[in-house]
Structure formats: structure tokens, C-alpha cells
């Protein structure tokens, strides 16, 4: 009896690609010369980084008085940007660790770029810690190490110290996870390298990978162990960042909903940034057969879910304030919606709650243009969320005479621009000199998730109405 091909689920690798095609398509941008478009974008990013570097240098040279802070609003633009970048870094570990443990095959084409994005976003977030230190060369004082200054130790009761531990741990594990996944692909590039310099550099990075059975077994073990270590970090890092506010007694901050609320928001903004970056990489390196519409749609579904969770958190905040009976807490939230910063609050609500609901429409969810535009809108909204939480809770104190407004200075804006330049310079270097898609893992799911190897089903001889999979 003849076999009948039936698609159980949409393929994750299209175009009838073979194993050799995957190697050629992914290695092409690593082995070839930089394209004109890459050079232009890299030049623009480098220029942005240079302008931002001047701003950061001036911050350190002349002091934090260059920021728009005042006696009432002691935290504003800087901590907003810090929390925003940490949030963006969440999607990479979620895709790498949690989806690996759940055996989600669609992660294989997107995990490499998402992991790189995580590392670069955390570096950008850490730069604000260095800026805030005022004297960056003394930033190591945040670390509890033995010293010659007597009993000079950090305040372990401070959530800001917890941030240092959380960010450094998250960065270390993310780097390890990212590099461990790169090793098989680095060995592939090493074996294909034509120049002695390339062969030496990639050979050094590949750490003697030989591809035998024992090596692959150890690679799988390490991946699972790192995934197990990373999974709690996905939840703990932004939880600890939320403690910067939740452990205070300031109305608008003192709430127990912050940890899950911050984690959901971080995944929300992280997936939006992953979408933006992957759509650019997909078009620039012609990887449409590996980063398919199915990948984009799946991530848009996650954005819809997490955006809905964030919307519920916004409503819950108002309910808690109203139910508490504390007039100061109630005023803090009324002030957010109707006070001087009402425009920021409603921009946040529009971008984070209303806009993602468009993804319920299948045509929009599968549209490249709509996806890119809405992902940008989501990240704008998440920036406004952090700004609203921080500034509107501070700018009107208990005493009306101390009320003040915050306006960013050019140095504030320049420091933020610096992190954008740094992020895109690092990501462009990664995309050029390292494989942007995990070749080894994509090949591993080829037989079950490719157009070249479709499922084959045939009628059962025992029950004529049913089909079984071979």
C-alpha cells in the first residue's frame, strides 16, 4: 500500500534544505567579507557609541550632577534604563534554558541570537551601575572582598547589593551557556577555515572538539545542567531587581506584586527585542528558511500572553491601592493616571496592554511588517512602564512643598544613547564573526521538523479509518 505524506505540524526548516545546505548558509556570513550594508550599519552604531562615550566620560569627569536629578526625584532616567536593559536580557535565557528542558524544537533557530542579546543587554545594564558609582574605578567596592580599609563591607541589607550578585551570576551563567552551545559550530568553522589565522583562532575557541560520541554525550549533559542552573535565574534576577522598589516604604513601590509583575514584563520586552533582531538578521543574511514565519508567530503568541499578564498586573495594582484604604497609596496611582506625567502612563497602557492584543489576529501575527512595528512599540511601552513606576512615585512626596518635576538633561540622554551604540556594535560583531544560528541543533531536528524529511503516514491494516506514523 502506498505511503501518504501528511504534515503533522508546520516545518521549522523550509526550502528542502540538506545538512550541507545548513552549514553553507550559516557559515557564509562568517567566512565571507563584510557586506556593504553591514559596514554602513556598523559605522552608524560605532558613531552612536562614540557620541555616547563622550557623554559617559563627562558623567564621570564632572559628576552625577549633570543628570536631571533633584532633591525629590533621586532616581529617574538612569535606573529606568538599567531595569529596561535587564528586562530585555530575559528572553535569551528563557529560550535557551526553559524551552530546552521542555524540548521545544522551535527554539533551535533562534536561541543563539537570543543568548547573545541577553549577554549584550546585561553588559548595557551593568554600564549604568558603573555610571551610577560616580567613580567607575572604585566599582569593585560593590563586591564583598577582603580589603585593607578595616571593616569596610557592603551593606548586605541593601537590594542594590543584591543586584550586583544577581546580575553578575546571570551574566556568568549566560556566557557559559552561550559559549558551550557555540563549541560544535566553532569546530565546524575551524575545519572549513582556509587561512592559518582563522584556523588557529576558531580552533582555540573550539577547545579540541572532535565530534565523537563521548564528546556529544558530554555536550548534552552540560547543556542540561546549565539549563537547570539557568532556569531559576530567569525568575530570580528580575525578582531581585524588583526588590529595589518593593522593599521600600514609598507609596507606589511597596507592593508584593512586583516580583511576578517584573518577571512577566521582562519576558514580554525580551521577546519583543528578539523579534526585532531576528527579523533584521533574517533579512540581512537571507535566513528565511531557518527563521520562518512559524518562529515569528510562536514568539508573538508568547508576547500576547505575557502582555496580557502585565495588563492584569496594572489592574491589580489599582485594586490593591483602592482596597488598602491607605490614602497615600491611592493618591500615588491616581497621580500616575491623571497627574503631570499622565501622558507617560497612558503611553505605557497603550503600548503594553492595547497594542499586543492585535496579535490575536492571525494575519497580523504572521506579518513581518506588523511584527517588527509592534515589537518596537512594546519596547517603547516597557521603557515608559519603568519610567512611570520610578518617577511618578517619587516626584510628589508627602509634603507638597517638596514636589518637583524631572526632566532629562543631554547627559542623561547621551548615557542612554551610549548603551544603544554599545549593544548594536557588539551584536553586529557577533553576527559577522560567529554563527548566528545553532547549526548543530538545527541539524538535530531536521528529520522531524524539515520539509526535506516529512512525516510519512499510512493507513492501518487493522482499523481502516485511522493512520499511524512510521
Domain ranges of the chain: 19-143+154-448
Banded model confidence at residue 94, pLDDT cuts 50, 70, 90: confident
Residue 171 to residue 123: CA distance in whole angstroms: 8
Residue 452: pLDDT over 90: no
The pLDDT, as a whole number, for residue 203 is: 93
CA dihedral 275, 278, 280, 281 (to 10 degrees): 180
The pLDDT, as a whole number, for residue 446 is: 83
The pLDDT, as a whole number, for residue 447 is: 80
Banded model confidence at residue 127, pLDDT cuts 50, 70, 90: very high
The pLDDT, as a whole number, for residue 457 is: 44
The pLDDT, as a whole number, for residue 161 is: 86
Residues contacting 433, CB < 8 A, separation 6+:
30
Integer angstrom CA distances of residue 6 from 273, 292, 331: 35, 20, 60
- Backbone phi and psi for residue 4, each to the nearest 5 degrees, phi listed first: -120, 125
Residue 255: pLDDT over 60: yes
Banded model confidence at residue 458, pLDDT cuts 50, 70, 90: very low
Model pTM greater than 0.75? yes
Residue 337: pLDDT over 70: yes
Q: Name the CATH architecture for the domain at 19-143+154-448.
A: Up-down Bundle (1.20)
Banded model confidence at residue 140, pLDDT cuts 50, 70, 90: confident
The pLDDT, as a whole number, for residue 273 is: 93
- Backbone phi and psi for residue 459, each to the nearest 5 degrees, phi listed first: -65, 140
Name the maximum alpha-carbon separation found in the chain.
Answer: 87
Quick one: what percent of the chain has pLDDT higher than 70?
93
362-405, pLDDT tens digit by residue? 999 999 999 999 999 999 999 999 999 999 999 998 888 899 99
The pLDDT, as a whole number, for residue 469 is: 39
Residue with more model confidence, 32 or 49: 49
Residue 467: pLDDT over 70: no
Do the Cβ atoms of 392 and 344 come closer than 8 Å?
yes
Residue with more model confidence, 466 or 136: 136
Amino acid at each position: 500500500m502506498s505511503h501518504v505524506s501528511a504534515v503533522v505540524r508546520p516545518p521549522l526548516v523550509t526550502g528542502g534544505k540538506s545538512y550541507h545546505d545548513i552549514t553553507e548558509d550559516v557559515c557564509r556570513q562568517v567566512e565571507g567579507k563584510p557586506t556593504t550594508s553591514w559596514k554602513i550599519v556598523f559605522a552608524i552604531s560605532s558613531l552612536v557609541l562614540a557620541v555616547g562615550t563622550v557623554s559617559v566620560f563627562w558623567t564621570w569627569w564632572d559628576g552625577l550632577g549633570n543628570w536631571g536629578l533633584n532633591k525629590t526625584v533621586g532616581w529617574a532616567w538612569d535606573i529606568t534604563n538599567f531595569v529596561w536593559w535587564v528586562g530585555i536580557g530575559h528572553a535569551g535565557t528563557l529560550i535557551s534554558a526553559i524551552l530546552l528542558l521542555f524540548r521545544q524544537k522551535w527554539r533551535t533557530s533562534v536561541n543563539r541570537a537570543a543568548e547573545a542579546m541577553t549577554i549584550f543587554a546585561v553588559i548595557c545594564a551593568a554600564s549604568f551601575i558603573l555610571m551610577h558609582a560616580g567613580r567607575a574605578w572604585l566599582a569593585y567596592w560593590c563586591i564583598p572582598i577582603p580589603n585593607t580599609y578595616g571593616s569596610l563591607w557592603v551593606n548586605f541589607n541593601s537590594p542594590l547589593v543584591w543586584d550586583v550578585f544577581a546580575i553578575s551570576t546571570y551574566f556568568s551563567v549566560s556566557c557559559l551557556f552561550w559559549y558551550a552551545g557555540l563549541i560544535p559550530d566553532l569546530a565546524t568553522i575551524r575545519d572549513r577555515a582556509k587561512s592559518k589565522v582563522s584556523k588557529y583562532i576558531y580552533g582555540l575557541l573550539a577547545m579540541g572538539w572532535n565530534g565523537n560520541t563521548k564528546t556529544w554525550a558530554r555536550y548534552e549533559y552540560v547543556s542540561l545542567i546549565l539549563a537547570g542552573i539557568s532556569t531559576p535565574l530567569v525568575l530570580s534576577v528580575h525578582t531581585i531587581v524588583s526588590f529595589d522598589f518593593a522593599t521600600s516604604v514609598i507609596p507606589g513601590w511597596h507592593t508584593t506584586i512586583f516580583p511576578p509583575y517584573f518577571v512577566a514584563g521582562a519576558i514580554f520586552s525580551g521577546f519583543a527585542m528578539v523579534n526585532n533582531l531576528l527579523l533584521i538578521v533574517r533579512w540581512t543574511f537571507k535566513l528565511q528558511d531557518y527563521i520562518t514565519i512559524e518562529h515569528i508567530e510562536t514568539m508573538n503568541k508568547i508576547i500576547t500572553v505575557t502582555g496580557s499578564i502585565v495588563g492584569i498586573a496594572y489592574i491589580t495594582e489599582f485594586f490593591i491601592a483602592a482596597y488598602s484604604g491607605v490614602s497615600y497609596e491611592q493618591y500615588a496611582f491616581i497621580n500616575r493616571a491623571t497627574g503631570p506625567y499622565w501622558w507617560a502612563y497612558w503611553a505605557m497602557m497603550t503600548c503594553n496592554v492595547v497594542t499586543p492584543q492585535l496579535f490575536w489576529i492571525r494575519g497580523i501575527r504572521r506579518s513581518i511588517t506588523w511584527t517588527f512595528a509592534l515589537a518596537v512599540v512594546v519596547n517603547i511601552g516597557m521603557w515608559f512602564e519603568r519610567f512611570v513606576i520610578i518617577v511618578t512615585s517619587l516626584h510628589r512626596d508627602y509634603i507638597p512643598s517638596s514636589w518637583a518635576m524631572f526632566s532629562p538633561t543631554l547627559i542623561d540622554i547621551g548615557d542612554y544613547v551610549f548603551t544603544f551604540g554599545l549593544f548594536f556594535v557588539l551584536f553586529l560583531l557577533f553576527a559577522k564573526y560567529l554563527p548566528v544560528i545553532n547549526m548543530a541543533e538545527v541539524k538535530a531536528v531536521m528529520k522531524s521538523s524539515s520539509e526535506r524529511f516529512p512525516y510519512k503516514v499510512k493507513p492501518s491494516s487493522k482499523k481502516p479509518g485511522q493512520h499511524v506514523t512510521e
